[in-house]
Amino acid sequence: MTNKVFTTVGKPEQRIDAVEKSTGKVRYVGDYSVPGLMHAKLVTSTQAHAKITSIDTTEAWKVPGVRAIVTGEVFPYHIGPILADRPPLAFEKVRYYGEPVAIIVADHEYQAKLATTKVKVEYDPLPIVNSVQQAFQADAPLVHENAGSYTKIISNVYPKTGTNIGSHIKIRKGNFEDEWENCEETITANYSFNLSDHVALETRSTRVEINPRGKVIVHSCSQSPFTIKKVLNQFFNVEVGNVLVHIPMIGGAFGGKGTVQLEPLAYLASKSVGGKLVKLEMDREEDMITSPCRVGLDATVQLGATKEGKLVAGKYTYLLDSGAYTDQAAGITRAAAIDCTGPYDIPNVWCDSYCVYTNHPFATSFRGYGHPELTFAVERTMDQLAKQLQIDPIQLRIINGIKPGHTTPTQTVLTANNIGDIEKCINRAKELIQWDEGQKMVSGKNKVRSKGISMFWKTSTTATNAEAGAILTFEADGSVNLNCAAIELGQGTKTILGQILAEKLGMGMDKIHVTMETNTQYDPHQWRTVASSSTFLAGRAVIAAADHAITQLKKTAATVLKCSPDDLDIGGGKVYLKPDPAFGVDIKEIALGYTYPSGHSIDGQVVGIGKHIQRHLTPMDEETGFGKPGPWWSVGVQAVEVEMDTRDFTYTILKGVTVLDGGTIINPKTAQQQMRGGMYMGLSYATSEKFIFDEHGVVQNTGLRNYPMLRYGEQPAQYLVDFIESPAADGPFGARGIGEYGVIGAPACLANSLSYALDVALNQLPLTPESIWEASRGSEE
């Protein structure tokens, strides 16, 4: 495969959704409206932890147009993707500020909203758990009185009754305790950062109706259409086949639209008005705090090494602030343990990764699934260790970089196929950031420029049975429809899958029609569009479907051309004889079956079916973590150069570098988009993003006005992106996943560069001028 010259794979084919998006004509889920559509709005909790003593809806009912008011006792059960610990509507008590308490359904949105202001909820306040450290104390108030009794939806989750621990994942590899004692050089460092938000520009939105036949029809901007079916089945007793989910193009997701929150609420709302079509759309403030956000983390990293810098032992304690419910934070807790060391070969590893309940908004997956956070902790420690050992930070990383033949923390053996080449990545990044010209220089009065670097890795932690399918139907003109349930979130997945198909069929992209909408009734099952898994899973399914179609095309063509299918090849819209490509039959002649001049017809429409399921993945052992959690590891390196004003601690990011080994790059331009966009997101997070809580656990910055993000012009003046393409043997055309990777190393390399600039350890995020000033004040005293 390696020597084959591809015609479409590896080429910057234009995104198939770009033109339509440039006209404003794409209809996202919230853009749909029809007379009779009803509107739901939420009453949300004003307390972070309290007993609900009464809900008085009398005044709310007086608002004209109000048709139903739904409260928690309508559905007093718990749901969740990993551990079923969250009531869709709070009952008995609320556990975070912003938690849904009631739903109002009305003819018009303003009526529903007005009515929400008239519902009187009485609370009896309970003590607040306002940080993971506090949650861990012996006498801490309990967010869940009986966490151990909740139903486990997947096996690797370990809640503990009587504590605020929602899960605890362990890694025990080698013999940390003994080896730590013998280490010539050791370092221990602590890191922490608050919860924050995805801020996809499209807020979450859904529409649900229940038709008279009992079909539940859901339109949503979800990354997980089949999970919506599963949830409505598992917890609401709707037959799986009776749930139809439609997903149009999505206005950004970043993991935040992977979990199922709004759809059950809209389902309850629709049910309350006799199954009528009800829309539930989050305002920005609700999208930020009522809907799930990004985890917070408190991490302690201990590294032990030889004098020469070879890592011997590593211990990692991760306390993930999952907020009030575990949701995907329980999975992130596991993922953080799986890759706890970063891309380093360490023989003795000990990791305790805890999913910790607090009275904060609950967290779910976020692009990178815990890896930007753990990478920050690991890479800051590596820089501090390098300083201690007086070794160049890049050298220290090269000495310890993980390679084929090494094992991961869960003791998966790495091979040239399942891991990229980290050393090539760092050498390339080193060139791009011009490391050898110096890591720090004075650039003006009170100005220094400095560089920081970070390595990273991540496996794709899908379910062990994650799968995807694809269906191809041929048109009369020989063009092909591609249907699959990979969802277009902006990442370009539909273009990538189209390219894979075009390559297989030897066709131009103009002959491939990829269905942009996902419809669970027509599209084959796909696990979810998360974990950078679509290129791999859906890409493999497309290849299988193409092979299936090719077999059919060749069979028909062989009959027509009076030869054996083995004599035939496909390309340029034809099936042709290998030895004589001029002799063949146009695909359009056989796409709907072949009709002889006599009128007799054979074979019928070419329909290609393909699927792919993860192979040989295993859950982790509860005591040691032993297991094979993912199919491959993509690896990479990021670096930044900043200019810091040493007087007032403001800074600008001059240059950002990302080098990734994601196997074969199917489309260099969309890949570049993902790397730049990812790095931006990581830098924005690292410079300015976090929720601020008051002493009552109330979020102080619930809207964009007080939640600063990097804006135009504040991005690096230069973003350099390059790829090392060590092909993955089992990936489509050698590709691995890349969607999340651009974000992972960005916070760490920024903190490394700023720490180096000031010679102050900056171990907290975000890195606002104020927090840097604080840290440097601390270090002076």
Partner 1 sequence: MNSLSKTSKQLIQLHVNGETHDAVVRSADTLLIALREQLGLTGAKRGCENGDCGACSVLINGKPSHSCLSLAVEVIDQPITTIEGLMDSPVSKAFVDNWAIQCGYCTPGFIVNCHSLITTHPDANDELIEEWLQSNICRCTGYEEIREAVHTLLASGQTENE
Partner 2 sequence: MIAFDFKYIKPTTAKEASKLFLNAKQKGNKAMFYSGGTEIITLARVNQLQTDMVIDIKGIPECNVLEIRGNELVIGSTVSLNDIAKSKLFPLLGDTVQRIADHTSRNKITIGGNLNSELIYKEGILPLLVADAKVKLAKGLEQRIVSLESIFKKQLELETGEFLVQIIVDKSYLDHPHMAKKRTKISKVGYPVVSVAALVKECQIQIAFSGVCQYPFRSFKLESVLNDTKVPVMERIGTAMQHLPEDVVDDIQGTKAYRTFVLRNVLKDILEELELTK
Find the shortest distance in angstroms from Cβ 709 to partner 2.
Answer: 7
Single residue of 490, 625, 662, 682 touching ligand FES by CB under 6 A? 490
The structure tokens listed for 749 are 């390399």
- Report the residue number, 177 or 694, with the smaller CB distance to partner 2: 694
Binding flag, residue 33, partner 1 (CB under 8 A):
yes
Find the shortest distance in angstroms from Cβ 274 to partner 1.
Answer: 24
- Report the residue number, 63 or 228, with the smaller CB distance to partner 2: 63
- Which positions from 113 through 172 interact with partner 2, judged by CB under 8 A? 113-114, 116-117
Q: Where are the alpha helices (DSSP H) in 250-348?
A: 262-272, 284-289, 329-338
Residue 28 binding: pick among ligand FES, partner 1, partner 2, none (C-beta 5-8 Å cut-off by kind):
partner 1
Find the shortest distance in angstroms from Cβ 225 to partner 1.
Answer: 17
Find the shortest distance in angstroms from Cβ 533 to partner 1.
Answer: 19
Q: What is the 3-state secondary structure (H, E, C) of 383-426?
A: HHHHHHHCCCHHHHHHHHECCCCCECCCCCECCCCCECCHHHHH
Single out the residue of 354, 285, 363 nearest to residue 323, CA to CA.
Answer: 363
Binding flag, residue 201, ligand FES (CB under 6 A):
yes
| Per-residue binder mask for partner 1 (CB under 8 A), 702-721, x = binder | -xxx---x-xxx-x---x--
Find the shortest distance in angstroms from Cβ 718 to partner 1.
Answer: 9
Residue 250 binding: pick among partner 1, partner 2, ligand FES, none (C-beta 5-8 Å cut-off by kind):
partner 1
The structure tokens listed for 27 are 């209809």
The structure tokens listed for 769 are 């001028």
| Per-residue binder mask for partner 2 (CB under 8 A), 281-310, x = binder | ----x-------------------------
Binding flag, residue 11, partner 1 (CB under 8 A):
no
CB burial string 159-197: b at 16+ within 10 A, e below: beeebbbbbbbbbbbbebeebbeebebbbebebbbbbbb
Taking the C-alpha atoms of residue 637 and residue 722, their distance in angstroms, rounded to an integer, is 10
- Report the residue number, 37 or 592, with the smaller CB distance to partner 2: 37
Residue 385 binding: pick among partner 2, ligand FES, partner 1, none (C-beta 5-8 Å cut-off by kind):
none
Find the shortest distance in angstroms from Cβ 524 to partner 2.
Answer: 39
Single out the residue of 379, 417, 459, 429 nearest to residue 635, CA to CA.
Answer: 459
Find the shortest distance in angstroms from Cβ 28 to ligand FES.
Answer: 11
- Report the residue number, 314 or 716, with the smaller CB distance to partner 2: 716
CA dist list (Å): 414 to 235, 504, 630, 716: 40, 29, 11, 35
Residue type, 617: L
Residue 202 binding: pick among ligand FES, partner 2, partner 1, none (C-beta 5-8 Å cut-off by kind):
partner 1
- Report the residue number, 201 or 413, with the smaller CB distance to ligand FES: 201
Find the shortest distance in angstroms from Cβ 8 to partner 1.
Answer: 17
Single residue of 519, 652, 673, 768 touching partner 2 by CB under 8 A? 768
- Which positions from 678 through 717 interact with partner 2, judged by CB under 8 A? 687-688, 692, 700-701, 705-706, 708-711, 713-714
Single out the residue of 348, 332, 340 nearest to residue 299, CA to CA.
Answer: 340
- Report the residue number, 35 or 713, with the smaller CB distance to partner 2: 713
Find the shortest distance in angstroms from Cβ 458 to ligand FES.
Answer: 22
Contact 44, 100 (CB under 8 A): yes
Find the shortest distance in angstroms from Cβ 608 to partner 2.
Answer: 46
- Report the residue number, 586 or 774, with the smaller CB distance to partner 2: 774
Find the shortest distance in angstroms from Cβ 194 to ligand FES.
Answer: 23
- Which positions from 475 through 494 interact with partner 1, judged by CB under 8 A? 489-492
Taking the C-alpha atoms of residue 657 and residue 649, their distance in angstroms, rounded to an integer, is 23
Supply the angle between the helices 769-780 and 746-758 in degrees, to the nearest 10. 40
Find the shortest distance in angstroms from Cβ 673 to partner 1.
Answer: 6
Task: For strands 216-220 and 205-210, give the pairing.
Answer: antiparallel
- Report the residue number, 283 or 423, with the smaller CB distance to partner 1: 283
Taking the C-alpha atoms of residue 216 and residue 267, their distance in angstroms, rounded to an integer, is 8
- Which positions from 626 through 665 interact with partner 2, judged by CB under 8 A? 647-648
- Report the residue number, 579 or 713, with the smaller CB distance to ligand FES: 713
Binding flag, residue 764, partner 2 (CB under 8 A):
no
Taking the C-alpha atoms of residue 516 and residue 52, their distance in angstroms, rounded to an integer, is 44
Residue 51 binding: pick among partner 1, partner 2, ligand FES, none (C-beta 5-8 Å cut-off by kind):
none
Find the shortest distance in angstroms from Cβ 12 to partner 1.
Answer: 8
Taking the C-alpha atoms of residue 559 and residue 174, their distance in angstroms, rounded to an integer, is 62
Sheet containing 50-56, strands listed edge to edge, beginning at the edge strand earlier in sequence: 93-94, 50-56, 120-125
Contact 534, 467 (CB under 8 A): no
Find the shortest distance in angstroms from Cβ 736 to ligand FES.
Answer: 24
The DSSP symbol for 759 reads T
DSSP reduced 3-state for 16: coil
- Which positions from 191 through 210 interact with partner 1, judged by CB under 8 A? 199-203
Taking the C-alpha atoms of residue 461 and residue 630, their distance in angstroms, rounded to an integer, is 5
Contact 363, 322 (CB under 8 A): yes
Taking the C-alpha atoms of residue 160 and residue 177, their distance in angstroms, rounded to an integer, is 25
Binding flag, residue 252, ligand FES (CB under 6 A):
yes
Contact 336, 156 (CB under 8 A): no
Contact 233, 290 (CB under 8 A): no
Binding flag, residue 692, partner 1 (CB under 8 A):
no
- Report the residue number, 251 or 409, with the smaller CB distance to ligand FES: 251
Taking the C-alpha atoms of residue 681 and residue 314, their distance in angstroms, rounded to an integer, is 29
Residue 688 binding: pick among partner 1, partner 2, ligand FES, none (C-beta 5-8 Å cut-off by kind):
partner 2
Find the shortest distance in angstroms from Cβ 681 to partner 2.
Answer: 15
CB burial string 441-472: b at 16+ within 10 A, e below: eeeeeebbbbbbbbbbbbbbbbbbebbbbbbb
| H or E segment and range at residue 58 | helix 58-61
Residue 768 binding: pick among ligand FES, partner 2, partner 1, none (C-beta 5-8 Å cut-off by kind):
partner 2
Write out the residues near partner 2 by the rule CB under 8 A.
Answer: 109-111, 113-114, 116-117, 285, 647-648, 687-688, 692, 700-701, 705-706, 708-711, 713-714, 768-770, 773-774
**Which residues form the interface with partner 1 (CB under 8 A)?**
14-15, 17-28, 30-31, 33, 64, 110, 199-203, 249-254, 281, 283-284, 489-492, 669-670, 672-673, 676-681, 703-705, 709, 711-713, 715, 719
By the criterion CB under 6 A, which residues form the site for ligand FES? Answer: 201, 252, 490
